[in-house]
Amino acid sequence: MKKYLIICLIFFFTINAQSSSSKKIINHLKNINSLKFKFIQRIDNNNIEKGECIILYPKKIFCEYYDIYNKILVSNGKSLIINSDKITNYYRYPLDKTPLNFILDKKFLISKMKEVENDKNYPFYYVFNFKFENNLIKVFFDKESLDLIGWETKDVYQNQIQTFLSDINVNIDVEERLFFIHKYTN
């Protein structure tokens, strides 16, 4: 009988600890309106890109890549454009057709984090895996700061994309005009 009681207590505390970390991350995320960070992005483990981004919730992002082509990525909440000196025309996508639509929507992230458990296969991060509209999305949070520190998705061409964040600043002042995509089109 003692054995069963001990097992039940361990199980209860494990579940409680799990839900406690999820609640802490959710509460932390609820209080974030904007992020500024540097990133490293791996595309299918072959290409590596680096740069800086600003996210303004909900669904706005501006990224400048550290490359010779002056590549930028901008979302105004509805459309996503990619432009650079390398291409003669810019690429425009409906944001809701890309996995960034989910990453940039903290209400969506919070609702999904309430439904799934932290993936225990990652000892240094809190990781939440969820599938939505044929998109498998992994979202990474720092165990100490509880900040969003990365994600893993597939792009519109089905390339595996891993994005890791560093030098994260939260709740910075952001000008709305940064996300006006018409000023980044050729």
Chain segment 94-118, per-residue pLDDT in tens: 999 888 998 999 999 999 999 888 8
Q: Which domain holds residue 120?
A: 2-184
**DSSP state letter for 179:** G
Count CB atoms within 10 A of the CB of residue 31: 8
**DSSP state letter for 118:** B
Q: For position 133, what pLDDT does the model report?
A: 75
Whether pLDDT at 20 is above 70: yes
Task: Count structural domains, the chain.
Answer: 1
Task: Calculate ∠ Cα 27-33-132, nearest 5°.
Answer: 70
Q: What is the CATH number of the domain that holds 29?
A: 2.50.20.10
Q: For position 62, what pLDDT does the model report?
A: 97
More confident residue, 184 or 180: 180
Q: Report how far residue 65's alpha carbon sits from residue 67's, in angstroms, rounded to the nearest whole number.
A: 6
Whether pLDDT at 15 is above 80: no
pLDDT in tens, 30-66: 999 999 999 999 998 789 999 999 999 999 999 999 9
CB 75 within 8 A of CB 104: yes
